[in-house]
Each structure stands twice: as structure tokens, then as C-alpha cells.
Chain A
Amino acid sequence: MIEIHNLGKTYPGRRSVPVRALADVSFECRPGEIFGLLGPNGAGKTTALRIISTALRPTSGTGRVMGFDIVADATAVRRNIGFLSSNTGLYGRLTAREVLTYFGRLFGLSDERIRARIGELSAVFSMSEFLDRPCDKLSTGMRQKVNIARTVLHAPPVMVFDEPTAGLDVLTSRSIVQFVRECRREQRTVLFSTHIMSEVEKLCDRVGVLHEGRLHFCGPIDELRSRYGADLDEAFVRIVGEAA
């Protein structure tokens, strides 16, 4: 469960002129639901996701993940989140198994539990063939599988995806979309940021449309369609246009 109330973020800009990245953003994301955060580049999506995952601190507002405050209980929040983006890197000189073991230990899992989880995830994502190869030698698709496995290794109830398919080929994107669906089936809370409308249509139950740091729409996909038209691209353009 993710609950965000009046979230704001201002960065110190050049010559002491602050840059507002987020202002007064509120939404909720429930277990078994995929919430899509839509917006053009620079809308504030990544900032919002980083605040929720505790990489950044909000300037104003509050947020809770599985009941833990994103500022006061940052460590507890991290234990409950799996974070994935398209450009998340891996340690090239370590094997996939070593990377997974490292993160398992960082998340406090016992070595026995880590071994068991790697076995399970290797079967789910068909990784056994390349589990002991250095990550540098893996294809993009294989790396993304390792990344997904790393994200869910500690079985987090909340998943945060920051444009996870950006720059990936069709097959790899497809496997990620399937994985996101699987998360919903497993009753996880899924927050998904993208600017690809086809993914929104395929995946999201509810969406929030961000533009210049403000949330201009928040509700179910059907409501978005009924208010702004059936075509999601058109609807998105209309919302952004109205906001401007």
C-alpha cells in the first residue's frame, strides 16, 4: 500500500533559484492494483518515485509505504519495496548469482534463504543457464531478468517501476509487462511510471497524470477515457494542453 499526501519537492537550482520538481501531489496505490504514473519527460515522475523509494527526501508533504513513513522509517520502507528502472545497472565483474546473493544479504536474508530464492527465481525467469556468468557477458534481456530477480528477491509487497521498458527491445519489454501483471496477480502494490500509452492501456487499473510537477488527473482508466476521450494519447495531450 502506498499513500502520498501533498508531496512537494524543490531542488536548489543554479544561482540560488529553486527549481520546483513536484507540488502538492497526492495519490494512493493499493495491493493488487497497478497504478500508472504518466507524464512527459521532466514531468516529475522519477522524482516522485525516488521520494517514495526513499532515495530522495520530500520538501513538503508526507508519504507512507506499507504503513511506514518514507522519511522517519526509511529503512523499513526500503525493506518493503522492490525498485526497477530500465537503466538500473549490474556489477559487470560479478556473476548473476553473486549479484543476487549480495542484495539478498543487504536485505538481511540468510544464505540458506537466498539460495532457495535464487533457485525459485531462476526457474521462474529461466536463468539457470547464465546464473554463473559474469553480468558483463549477459545480453540486455538476460540482464533485465537478473534485475527483476534482484528486485523481487526479498519478496517485497510493493513494486516500483520507473519506465522499466524504456530503450528495451520488444521481447524484453514484453517479459517485463508480463512480470508486472504477475505482481498484480500476487496481490502486490504496483506503482508504474511510463509515457507509453499502450503499456498504460495493457496494464494500469488507475492512473495519475503528472505535468510540470503537478498531478492533473488521478483516477481509473475508464474515468480518464470518459472525461478526455477514448484514445489515451489524445486524452493525455488534452490534459497536458489544459494544464499549460
Chain B
Amino acid sequence: MLAGVWTIYRKELVDTLRDRKTLVFMLLIPAAAIPLMFAGINALVQRAQRQTAVEVVRIASDADSQRRYVQLVHQWFLGTQLQKTFRLAASPLFGALLKPEQTAGATVPGEIFDDPAAFQRWTQGLARAAREGIDDPADKSAAAAQIELPDALRTELVEFYRVALKGLGLVEFIDPAVLAPPPPGFVAAAGRPGRPAVPGFERFEAALRAKELHGYLVIPPEAERIVDAVSPTVLITLIHDSTLRLSKEAGERVAYVVEQAGQRVVELRLAARQLDASFVLPLDMQGQSDLATESQIAMAIIGGILPYFVIAFAFLGGMYPAIDLGAGEKERNTLETLILAPASRLEIAFGKFLVILTTALIAAFAGLLSIVASVRYLDAPELLKEIQLELSPVTALLVALLAIPPAAAFAGLFLAISIYARSFKEAQNYIAPLQFVLILPAMAPMLPGMEINATLAMIPLVNVSILSKELLRGAVHWGYYVTTFLSCFVFAGACVAYAVRQFSREQVLFRS
């Protein structure tokens, strides 16, 4: 029995590995998909972030609203630790914002600390000069991260970038009176119910649709006495359209400025009344109470995604060889010769099953290695870059070994289908749609509340995906681990038994 299985396995493996299509599905796609995906997503995201980050948004606002807005940002600036550093004319902080060649002549004019309008002009100049050097603050490769700074200052620098440069320096205010009248026949949209009324709304909306304008800002006079007079909350209006990229950006920038400026007002109000910050924050949660380390939290997230890729790659790696080894034999007229050899049908089916299992495993491992290499050597997503992942060799091995059960399940299932099919094309038609059905269990860990239990441990594929998530977050359930292997192997065994039966059925062997 073993000699027969070995003979068939050896021959089929050589035959399969010489097939270019198999090599593409088994090695090239699993190895290249993840790095390409990482590189592609990063490139797109970074490009979009950079592009939006340095673009000027145009906001219509009357002179009073504009002045109040500038005052709010200026007031915020004066409350930062950063402004003290900036008072030193040749602040090294410029190095964090500008390119080295721009830093040389950069100075901080004294009037920015007293005159909001001068502060506005300075931020505009700084922002525009620095446009080329500015990266999104979320991007840790930005200049701000490359110089030695105390953490608090670094945080303030990022805030300065967001509030003063993006929120003010890169905002161009436009007098609503100069807006062109809407074209003939233009009908203004009603917008959401309760939308604040602004004068000349139709002209504003026409300019918004034409992408000449990105928002309409109205700040009521009460905003000017906001520190001294405790009035009802002052509502600031920015009419915009969040479905348009820069209009959405304008909305986000102003909202952030308002939030930060509001916090500054609270600080000033508390200081004026000699009250502590706890006065407005009577209750809070103690930080660092989460027992899970950052690595474990990240692993739990990765654990939700990783099995999806492993299962998908095992599927890809097993699919093509399976079709070739069953239906392909019929199509090439080699099946009859094979069944007339003295090998038993079980030997033939099992030998072929092992080959499909091998290729599915190679694909899954190639995919896993590619993921590890991509995370380590490529621009990985933020989460992975920031956190030092801790993974013990034993856990890594246990996770890697979990590729075996789905590979076995696929190998058995694909072989049974392939032997039943009368041609290569028919087998493809049966197996290809299974991708959608079989990938669903791989998504199980992404569903909320999915934790391994005795029932789930017996469902092939679902058990693998949930268990790898558990393993990655540091929990090893040996009982469920063994159950997972058993359930997938029982499923695979049933499929191989079905394949053996199909190998013995004349209607199947000689279907044409």
C-alpha cells in the first residue's frame, strides 16, 4: 500500500511542479500578493494624505468671522508650551517643520505673539514654504519624528501642525460678496433639515459645486468674549459638503481648530477662576489598566486577518493541481491506463490527495512567510509599524501548523470534485465558486464575540480561523487545537473516501 502511494505521490508531485500554472498559483501569487498589496495601499494612502495635507482650502467668510477664527487659533497658540520655544528666534523646531535649506533664513517675527493678523500671515508663509517638507503628522517618517524632542513638545508640534498650519496657514479666506452669482437655472439643494441659514447661500453652493470654494464659515460675535463671559455654547457654522474631498477636508480642519480652541478657552476660564482642570473633568478612567499588552491587542487584530490569507492561499495552491490530477487525467486520456495498473483505487486517490495537500501547504506557507517578510521589511500598515510584535517561536509554530487542517480539507474536497468532473473546465466551474463559500468561515474571527468553543472547534475552517486568532493573542487551547486537526482530517478523509468511490464508479471514470 505505502509503496504504491509513494510511487504515485512522487510522480504526481514532479508532474505538478513542472506545470507553470501550478507554480504561479502555488508560489508566485501567495509570495507576491501581500507585498504588492502593502506597497499599493501604502502608496495610495500616503499619496492621498500628502496631497490633502498640503492643499489650501478656500473658505468663504465675512471679515468679522474670519477675524474671530484667527483670534481663536492665536489664543490657542499662546496657550501652548511651543510658543515659548518659538520666542527663541532661531528655534531648532524649524528643523522639524522645514527642509534643511529652508531652515537657514527662517526666523520667528516678534509681532506674532501680540498680533493675530501677523500670526496668520506668519502661519501662511510658514505653511506654504514648508509644503514640500511637510508630511502628514500621522506619518512617522515625517521630519518631526527625526529630531530629538521631549515627548510633550513633539505632541505639541504635531498639534501646531494641525491647528496652526493646516487649520489656518493653509486656509484661504474669501469674501462672500465677491462670489459670482449662480449660473442661470441653478437650483440650490435644501441640504439637511435644520441647516443654518447663510446669506447668499445659492452663490456659495454654486461655487462649492464648481469646487472653487470648500466651505462657508460663520462665527457669531459671542465668540469674542468667550473667556470672560460664560454664555451658552457658541455655535460655529461651517457649511460644507463631505462628499467632496477638499470640502470634507475643510470641515475636518475647522472642526479640529474649534475643538482645540474650545479646550484652550476652558483652560483660560479655569485659570481666571483659579480652578483646577479637575473641575471640568470630575471623573475619568485610569489609564494603563488594560492587562493586554499593545502587542496582544495588535495580535488579536492580526489574528482576525491572518487566517483569511492562509485559507485563501491554501485554496489557491490546491485548486489547480487538484483539477489537473483528476479531471486533467481524464482529459489527457491517461486515467484509463492508470486504473489498469495494479495500484488500488485507494492508493491512487491517497497519492493524489497527498500531492494536493503538499501544494496547498506550500502555498499557505509561502503566503505566511511573505506576510512576515512584508511586515518586517516593507512599509507595513501603521498598527504593525508602531508596535513591537511579540511572538514566541512556539506560538509561531502552532499558528504555522494550523495551515495543515484547511489544506487537508481543501485537498480532499477538490480531489473528490475533480474526479467527479468530466473535464478540466467542468472541474473549474465546480471549484471556482467555492472560493466564496469557503472563504466565509475564514472571516469568522472578524465577527464580534467569536471565541473558540467545543462546537466551533468541530466546524472545519471556522475552527482554524478562530483558533489562530486565539493563538496570536496568546491563548493556547490544546484540546481545541487537537479537535481542529481531527475535524478537518475527518472531513478530508470523508472526501478521500468519496474520491475512492468515484474512482470505482464506471459512470464517473468513463463519463464523456
Query: Hey, which bits of chain A sit against chain B, CB under 8 A?
Result: 11-12, 50, 53-57, 75, 78-79, 81, 83, 85, 87-94, 98, 102-103, 105-108, 150
Contact = CB atoms under 8 A, between A and B. Distances in A.
Contacts of B233: none
B14 interface: yes
B341 A106 contact: yes
Interface stretch (B95-103, B304-312, B329-337, B438-446): B329-337
A105 B11 CA distance: 10
A79 B339 CA distance: 12
13 contacts: A12-B507, A50-B336, A50-B510, A55-B339, A55-B340, A78-B342, A81-B340, A89-B332, A91-B11, A92-B332, A102-B11, A106-B341, A106-B342
A88 B4 CA distance: 22
A94 B15 contact: yes
A56 B342 CA distance: 14
At the interface, is chain B mostly helix, strand, loop or mixed?
helix
B429 interface: no
A89 B333 contact: yes
Nearest to B333: A89
Contacts of B336: 50, 55, 83, 85, 88
A72 B146 CA distance: 82
Interface residues of B, number: 25
Given A53-B340, A57-B506, A94-B14, A106 B333 contact: no
A103 B14 contact: no
A73 B238 CA distance: 89
Contacts of B341: 78, 103, 106-107
B461 interface: no
B19 interface: yes
A83 B339 CA distance: 11
Interface in B326-381: 332-334, 336-344
A26 B339 CA distance: 25
B509 interface: yes
B14 A98 contact: yes
A91 B15 contact: yes
Nearest to B20: A93
Given A55-B510, A150-B337, 10 more contacts: A53-B340, A55-B506, A78-B341, A85-B336, A88-B333, A92-B332, A94-B14, A94-B15, A98-B11, A106-B4
Given A94-B11, A102-B11, A54 B340 contact: yes
Given A93-B19, A102-B11, A107 B342 contact: yes
B81 interface: no
Contacts of B18: 93-94
Interface string B246-287: 000000000000000000000000000000000000000000
B336 to A, nearest CB: 6
